[in-house]
A and B are shown apart, each in its own frame.
Chain A
């Protein structure tokens, strides 16, 4: 459906913006390495099913793309951050990883290793942007491209919400876990969405309240 495709495309766009920004500026300035490490963890733990199940060619290619691009991003960020100190990238990610794992143990579609990892990845994804937002808030301003990247990334899960509503009516599908974490993820972004709207529409300076 249109929401799902638009969501996946905005996810792809966000990754291209990010990689392009790093390559053009030849710098990791303003980009949180921690957020990108969390995304790599999210993709690797969610897509372990690549090894033993097949849904569609689209699905498989996208999964391979997300895993490989997230690892590539980390490599590039490491390469370009040698000379700069990321003063502001000091969010304690263990405070995101540990609770996500506990929530994965409590809420899952079956007490199997793969299902626990899948649930863990959803919880972790919902809060993975926090180090990046924290960094943005501390530095007070940001390159427009970086904010475009965060916007596209946030839009992707926001678009999954109408996708789930559509699938509920069209297919009778209702994945409580995905919907709950998806709503949390969108709420985490909502303040950012508002600020982005203000900045882009009214062209005012960027700051996170």
Chain B
């Protein structure tokens, strides 16, 4: 799983 969450959702 990718580390670090990118808030690219709305």
Contacts and interface: CB of A to CB of B under 8 A. Distances in A.
Interface of A: 4, 8, 11, 46, 49, 55-56, 59, 62-63, 66, 109, 118, 160, 163, 171-175, 178
A184 to B, nearest CB: 16
B10 A109 contact: no
Nearest to B5: A109
Contact of B10 (A62, A118, A171, A173): A62
Contact of A59 (B1, B2, B10): B10
- Dominant secondary structure at the A interface: helix
A59 B8 contact: yes
5 contacts: A4-B9, A46-B7, A55-B8, A160-B9, A171-B2
Contacts of A171: 2
Contacts of A63: 10
A172 B1 contact: yes
B7 A173 contact: no
A7 B2 CA distance: 24
B4 to A, nearest CB: 8
B7 A118 contact: yes
Contacts of A178: 9
B3 to A, nearest CB: 10
Contacts of B5: 109, 175
A72 to B, nearest CB: 18
A11 B2 contact: no
A156 to B, nearest CB: 9
B8 A172 contact: no
Nearest to A118: B7
